[in-house]
Amino acid sequence: MTRTRPLVLTTLAASLLWLSGCNGNAANGTATQDAASPQATAADTGAAPAADAIEGLPFASTAVATFNEPWAIGFLPDGSVLVTEKSGVLKHVTLPGGEVREISGVPAVAYTGQGGLGDVKPHPQFAQNGIVYLSFAEEGEGGRGAAVARGRLDLEAGALQDVSVVWRQVPKVDGAGHYGHRIAFDGDGKLWISSGERQKFDPSQNMQSNLGKVVRLNDDGSVPDDNPFAGKGEVASQVWSLGHRNPLGIAFDAQGRLWNSEMGPAGGDELNLVKRGANYGYPIVSNGDHYDGREIPDHDTRPEFEKPAITWTPVISPSSLAFYSGTLFPAWTGNAFIGGLSGQALVRVEIDGDSAREAERFPMGGRIRDVAQGPDGALYVIEDGKDGRLIRLAPRAG
């Protein structure tokens, strides 16, 4: 068994990277550091494209472009990529050139707290229909909630057209946290959405609400009649699984099984194999506890709830989840990758049947907001915050 690297060492390594980055910038006289973005500035990366974007990794890292609070990466079949910015901006990026263009027609978003423009995913038949899905936080009666809209991307016009909302969190509540709102498609073209509990706890167990759930829909937002709670109410019929907290990662493995990563409270981050109709226990059980110190019983006290395949304490703050199906990193085919916010890392996870283990943790020197596999078989990550970079990870040549 490879042991998980203790967090303190990861943090130390990240600090050393940060320091070395400072020195490098100071040496060439372009140092503009802030806490959210300890790496080189866009001008630096443009001036030295061959240099590693992140030092100390066992593979090459190349900065492609820089964004303002990027949130999600959505690859298109032609190898270009859409990137969302939390403030409500959608950008199209060519690869490998890294030319960035803003796309108009994005719905108005509630940009505050953890909310704003969220995930972006093309329809599985994007090459034929040009449809793109966006998730975002919106204002409405009762407060705020996540929504998912779809529209047709006209790349020549640089515009999203015929935009319509296909799903909403119910009910809208006050606050601006735990939207979740990652999007995935399965091999049958079904639309899957991870819905956070909006920091309201009990809705995760309430089937009159779709908060704290994973939902499964047809691509137009209608409800499939073979969902596990079909016929048990308008909201319940959307639900695939319940008892989730803030599921910021959702992805299918090569066998077509759904997994999700979710933020625990104080401790207890989770990777779950998401099963039909299953209850993942929040807020009744968690291997973490409430931030105010009140205990939440651990998963093993209540075997009727599905246990996580991996639980992390100290936390990594999983932002994102992707399965690697490429061959550019042949040793990693079938592995899961999780971006860590507080962990400032990319976590490699090996899957064995229904179980999973952390196999490796790469210190990224900053908070990682999303991870995705490109059509070229490279891994791409995006950094969190102001001046967050889109970075391509690939084996070193030779």
Nearest approach, Cβ of 72 to Ca ion (angstroms)? Answer: 24
Choices 53-61, 281-289, 371-379, 385-393; region in contact with Ca ion by CB under 5 A:
281-289
Question: How much helix, strand and coil, in percent to the nearest 5, is found in the chain?
Answer: 10, 40, 50
Could you say which of 153, 160, 236, 296 contacts Ca ion (CB under 5 A)?
296
Least distance CB 286 / Ca ion (angstroms): 5
**Distance (Å, whole) CA 175 – CA 168:** 16
Distance of closest approach, residue 182 Cβ to Ca ion, in angstroms: 17
Catalytic residue among 92, 123, 178, 244: 178
Site for Ca ion in 46-75 (CB under 5 A): none
Q: Is residue 201 close enough to count as binding Ca ion by CB under 5 A? A: no
For residues 118 and 181, give the distance between their C-alpha atoms in angstroms, rounded to a whole number.
Answer: 7
Residue 360 CB, nearest approach to Ca ion (Å): 24
Please identify, among the stretches 41-49, 80-88, 189-197, 278-286, the one whose residues bind Ca ion according to the rule CB under 5 A.
278-286
19 CB-contact burial (10 Å; exposed 0-12 / middle 13-18 / buried 19+): exposed
- Would you say 141 or 295 has its CB closer to Ca ion? 295
Determine if residue 266 is left, alpha or beta; phi over 0 gives left, psi from -120 to 50 gives alpha, anything else beta.
Answer: beta
The correct pick among 98, 130, 203, 281 for binding Ca ion (CB under 5 A) is: 281
* Among positions 280, 312, 329, 362, the unique one binding Ca ion when judged by CB under 5 A: 280
Q: Determine the Cα–Cα distance for residues 106 and 111; give it in Å rounded to an integer.
A: 13
Query: Is position 298 an interface residue for Ca ion (rule: CB under 5 A)?
Result: yes
| Alpha-carbon span 357 to 190, nearest angstrom | 28
Q: Does 196 engage in binding with Ca ion (CB under 5 A)?
A: no
By the 10 Å C-beta count (0-12 exposed, 13-18 middle, 19+ buried), 163 is classed as: middle
178 among known catalytic residues? yes
Interatomic CA distance for residues 19 and 343, integer angstroms: 17
Interface residues with Ca ion (CB under 5 A) are 280-281, 289, 296, 298
Q: What amino acid positions are annotated as catalytic residues? A: 178
